[in-house]
Structure 1
Amino acid sequence: MQSVEITVISAENLRVGKKPVKKSSFVAVRASSASECCTTKMSAEGGGSHPTWNEKLAVDLQPADLRNGFIMVEVYCKVTSSKSKLVGGVHVPVSDFLGGFLPSNRLQFLSYRLWDPTFERNGVVNISVKVRFPETPNGCRSFPQAPRPKAIVGVPAREQERERLGGVAVVAGVPAVWFGRSHCTYQGLGF
C-alpha cells in the first residue's frame, strides 16, 4: 500500500447555481478504490468563492490505484447546519504525480478545473501532492523499482536498435510543432 499526502490549499471562483458561494466550504478526498474519504475542516466563515484550507490529508492507495486509479477531490458548501451541497469535483489521475518524469517523492503543486453535478465548469482547486514511501525495518525508505526502457534519440527507432536493446526501445524527443488536437476527453464524475 502506498500513502499519499495531499495538501488542500485553496479553491477559486466557486459557484452554486451561477452565484458565488457565500458560505463555508470543505473538501472531501478519497482514492478511487476507497469507500471512506478524508475531509478538511470548514473554511472560515466568509471564505466564499475563494476559500483557503491549507490542510494536509493522508490517502492510502491500493495496488490497483497505482496502475490506473485516480483520487477524487470534491468541494462542498454548507447549506444548513446539517446539510452540505456538492459545489464541484475532479478525478485526479494517479499518473499525474506518480511515475512521471519527476521523482515520486517530490512535492508537486497541481491545479484542477472543478465540474459541478451538471458537468458545468465550476472553479479551480489547488492542491499539493507528496508520495510517502513505507519505511523498512532498518529505517530506510523503500522506493518502488519500475523498469525503465532505454531511450534512443531520433524518430523512428530502427528495428536493429530495438533488437540490440532486447526489444525495449523508446524514442525520446520533443516535436518542434504539434498540429494534433487534444487527446483528453472528459469521462464524467461519479457523483
Structure 2
Amino acid sequence: MSALDLIEVWAKITGNEPEKVHISAEADIDDLKSELFDGNKEKKRQHYGVFNNQRPSSSARVPHDTCCAQPILFFKVDETDMDVTRVITPDLNTIPSNENFLDATFSIPLIDKDTTQVEHSPPHLVDTIHYQNGDKYVGEINAQREPHGKGMMCWKNGRRYEGKWKNGKKDGQGIEYGANGAINLTGEWKEGVKI
C-alpha cells in the first residue's frame, strides 16, 4: 500500500483525547476498530462508532471528512442497551418498532430475596447538540434532548467535561478539564455537584 492510499481519520474512544489514525482510504469501521484496539477482538466487540449522529455498521466505509473537533466517537457498549441504539434525527417524533418491547418493566430479585420493579428504559439516543451560546455536547441524551448517559460537554471558554449525565446534569463518574486541557476535577457528581 502506498502513502497515496492512506488517509487521516480522527477517532475518539470515550474517556480519551481524539487521535489521528492513518488508514487505507478503502477501510471500513471494523478496520478502524482493529487499528484503535490493536486487533483485540474483545475490545472491538465492546465498542461502537458514531459519526454525524449516525451509528455506521462495521462494514461501512470510514468517513473521510473527520477532524479533531468532529472525530468518529467510539462508545463502550452498555449491557443495558441490548446492542440497539436509536440515533436522533431532526424529526424527534420517529419511534422505532421495538419501542414497546424496550419500555417493558422487569422484576429483578435482589440478594435479600426482595423483589423490586425496575423500569428498563430504551437505549440512550446519541446526538450532537450545538447551543446558541457556543457550547457543544456530544453523546447520549434523553427524549428531551438533554445530556443523559455517557457524553462530553465542550464549553465555548475551552473547558470540557467527559463522563456520565442524568437529565442535563453531571451525575456519576466524570472528568472536568480546564481551558488549558489539564484535569481540574475527577470523581463522582450528583445532580451537577461534585461529591
Q: TM-score range by the shorter chain?
A: under 0.3
Using the size of structure 2 for normalisation, the TM-score is 0.26
Using the size of structure 1 for normalisation, the TM-score is 0.26
- Which of structures 1 and 2 has the bigger CA Rg? 1
Higher RCO structure (Cα 8 Å, ≥6 apart):
1
